[in-house]
Each structure stands twice: as structure tokens, then as C-alpha cells.
């Protein structure tokens, strides 16, 4: 009996000895600049400047203050952005469809968040966007992919001529559906010049939630360039990893930012030009 009572203690000691704490000592790399912003035909231009942080860092991503940001229209400087708060810059300037825009960012030496340098975005044309014809709710029944209930839809007509690319943004009760797996983009490759009006083509349902009674639905359809479309699709691909062997290999998600002062420095983020149209539906 004595040996039988001792056996569980031996197993406990054996498994306890396997629970060593393994600490990974990962070297910290130099922070990279992240430039995100856009210019539209209806809003003030806005840009957020941040720097990357170590992978296991528990602090907020560093904001970059004290930078000089100049906006260019067809290569002519048209505005110098104002730093409204740490790392966020804006100016009340609206773009014009058909014109080309880029920004130049200068971070002075001695900045606490990042080594100084000069960056520019690759110029982008502000493309056209069609009006949203209507936004409405419809009771859906006998759909194999969703429950019976009220769902919101919208309709629009694509202008003739291939090459139009769009991004749809959705808010429900001021909550933005802006996670990577909620990004919605589309191009007119297969429906150029056609109408999503339930006569030519079906209207577009923009959320799968049928719990929308009493909800404010707000949508924004914006034009984007093919470069921006490809960037957003890569963003979705890189963040939709499920741990399988079919996951794409991890890779830096490079946008349209380049370092002028040192081409070997990696730069992240995207500055895009977009014409936008918006509609609101109250249920």
C-alpha cells in the first residue's frame, strides 16, 4: 500500500518538472514610420503619423508629433497640414475629381518616436464615384444563408467605362465595421455601366445582421485606385490567417509610402484619394 500511495506523487513530480517557463529574447528592431490618411472631395484632408512598437510591447503605438506635412495637387503644393493633436494632422481642403494628390512628410531629427527623415506618398488620382440612388430595408424570407428578417440594402448605377473601383464603409449606430475582415471592395470589371436597382441587377445588402430595428445605418461608398484596391485585398489576406497550412506566408504590408531621404528604409501605411457619397437610413 505504501508504494501505491507514493505513485501519484511521482507522477505529479514528473509532470511538474515539464512546466519550465521559456522566455523568448527577441531583439528590438528600429521603429518604422506609419503614414495613414486620405483626401476626399467632401472632407478635410487628414493624416495620422505613428511609429511601430516592439511585438510584445504593452504600451500604445507611439504617435509622431512635430512633423511638417505638405499636400500636393498635380505636383503643386496647396496646403500645409496643422497638427490638431499629437500625431494627427489635418487641413480644410477638399480634392477635385480627376486631379492627382500626394503628401510629403518631414520628421525632424531628434524626434522621440522616430529617427528623422523625409517621406512621400505615391501620387494617386481622385477617381469618380456614382451617387447612391437609395438606401432602404427589406424583409427577407427563405434565404439559405440568413434568418428571416429585415435587412438594409442600397442601390447605385455604375457609370459607363471600365476601371472604376470602390470601397464600401458601414456604420451601425455609429459603430464602424472597419476591421480587416469587414473590408468590402469591388470593381466594375464584370458589371461596367449597369445598375444595382432590382431591375437590371439586385440591390446590394450591406450587413448580414437582421437585428437592426431602431438602428441608424450609415454607409459611405468611395472611389479608390487599383493600387489601393490591391493593397486592401492584401490586407484582408494577411489578416485572415487561421493557422492552417494554406495560410499565406507573413510579409510586410507595404502601401504607397516611400522614404526619400533613405530609400532603404521600410515605410508603412497608405495615403489615398477618394471621392465619397453617403446615405443614412433610420429604422
How confident is the model over 180-189, as pLDDT tens digits? 888 999 999 9
- Both 40 and 117 in a single domain? yes
- pTM of the predicted structure, to 2 decimals: 0.85
- Both 121 and 252 in a single domain? yes
Kindly state whether residue 83 falls inside one of the protein's structural domains.
yes
Query: Under 8 Å CB-to-CB from 91, ≥6 apart: which residues?
Result: 44, 45, 71, 79, 80, 81, 82
- Both 121 and 140 in a single domain? no
- Both 116 and 155 in a single domain? no
pLDDT at 12 over 60: no
- Both 115 and 49 in a single domain? yes
- Both 95 and 121 in a single domain? yes
Query: Under 8 Å CB-to-CB from 123, ≥6 apart: which residues?
Result: 72, 75, 100, 101, 102
DSSP H helices, 131-283, are 226-239
Q: Do 153 and 159 contact (CB within 8 A), yes or no?
A: no
Q: Do 80 and 69 contact (CB within 8 A), yes or no?
A: yes
**How many Å is the maximal CA-CA distance in the chain?**
92
Q: What is the mean pLDDT of residues 32-47?
A: 97
Name the band, by pLDDT with cuts 50, 70 and 90, for residue 60.
Answer: confident
**Structural domain boundaries, residue 77:** 33-127+246-274
Residue 56 maps to which CATH number?
Answer: 2.60.40
pLDDT for the residue 6: 46
Kindly state whether residue 23 falls inside one of the protein's structural domains.
no
Q: What is the mean pLDDT of residues 132-149?
A: 91
Kindly state whether residue 156 falls inside one of the protein's structural domains.
yes
- Both 254 and 223 in a single domain? no
pLDDT for the residue 145: 86
Direct distance between the N- and C-terminal alpha carbons of the chain, in angstroms, rounded to an integer: 74
Cβ atoms < 10 Å from Cβ of 140: 16
pLDDT for the residue 1: 42
| Total structural domains within the chain | 2
- Both 60 and 190 in a single domain? no
- Both 173 and 88 in a single domain? no
pLDDT for the residue 251: 66
How far from the centroid of its chain's Cα atoms is residue 265's Cα? 22
Reported as a single tens digit per residue, the pLDDT across 182-225 is 899 999 999 999 999 999 999 999 987 666 667 899 999 999 99
- Both 83 and 70 in a single domain? yes
Q: How many residues does the chain have?
A: 283
Q: What is the mean pLDDT of residues 148-156?
A: 92
Class of residue 178 by CB neighbours under 10 A (exposed 0-12, middle 13-18, buried 19+): exposed
Name the band, by pLDDT with cuts 50, 70 and 90, for residue 144.
Answer: confident
pLDDT at 14 over 50: no
pLDDT for the residue 19: 60
Amino acid at each position: 500500500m505504501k508504494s501505491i500511495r507514493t505513485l501519484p506523487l511521482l507522477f505529479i513530480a514528473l509532470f511538474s518538472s515539464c512546466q519550465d517557463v521559456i522566455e523568448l529574447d527577441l531583439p528590438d528592431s528600429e521603429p518604422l514610420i506609419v503614414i495613414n490618411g486620405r483626401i476626399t472631395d467632401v472632407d478635410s484632408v487628414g493624416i495620422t503619423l505613428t511609429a511601430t512598437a516592439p511585438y510584445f510591447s504593452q504600451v500604445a503605438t507611439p504617435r509622431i508629433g512635430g512633423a511638417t506635412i505638405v499636400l500636393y495637387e498635380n505636383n503643386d503644393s496647396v496646403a500645409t497640414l496643422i497638427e490638431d493633436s499629437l500625431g494627427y494632422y489635418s487641413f480644410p481642403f477638399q480634392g477635385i475629381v480627376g486631379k492627382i494628390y500626394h503628401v510629403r512628410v518631414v520628421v525632424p531629427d531628434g524626434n522621440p518616436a522616430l529617427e528623422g527623415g523625409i517621406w512621400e506618398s505615391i501620387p494617386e488620382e481622385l477617381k469618380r464615384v456614382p451617387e447612391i440612388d437609395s438606401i432602404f430595408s427589406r424583409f427577407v424570407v427563405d434565404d439559405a444563408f440568413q434568418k428571416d428578417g429585415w435587412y438594409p440594402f442600397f442601390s447605385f448605377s455604375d457609370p459607363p467605362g471600365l476601371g472604376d473601383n470602390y470601397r464600401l464603409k458601414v456604420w451601425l449606430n455609429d459603430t464602424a465595421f472597419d476591421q480587416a475582415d469587414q473590408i468590402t471592395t469591388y470593381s466594375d470589371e464584370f458589371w461596367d455601366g449597369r445598375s444595382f436597382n432590382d431591375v437590371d441587377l439586385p440591390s446590394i445588402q450591406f450587413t448580414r445582421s437582421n437585428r437592426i430595428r431602431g438602428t441608424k445605418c450609415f454607409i459611405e461608398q468611395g472611389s479608390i485606385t487599383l493600387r489601393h484596391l490591391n493593397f486592401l485585398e492584401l490586407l484582408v489576406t494577411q489578416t485572415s490567417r487561421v493557422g492552417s497550412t494554406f495560410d499565406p506566408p507573413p510579409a510586410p504590408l507595404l502601401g504607397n509610402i516611400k522614404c526619400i531621404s533613405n530609400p532603404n528604409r521600410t515605410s508603412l501605411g497608405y495615403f489615398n484619394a477618394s471621392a465619397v457619397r453617403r446615405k443614412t437610413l433610420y429604422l
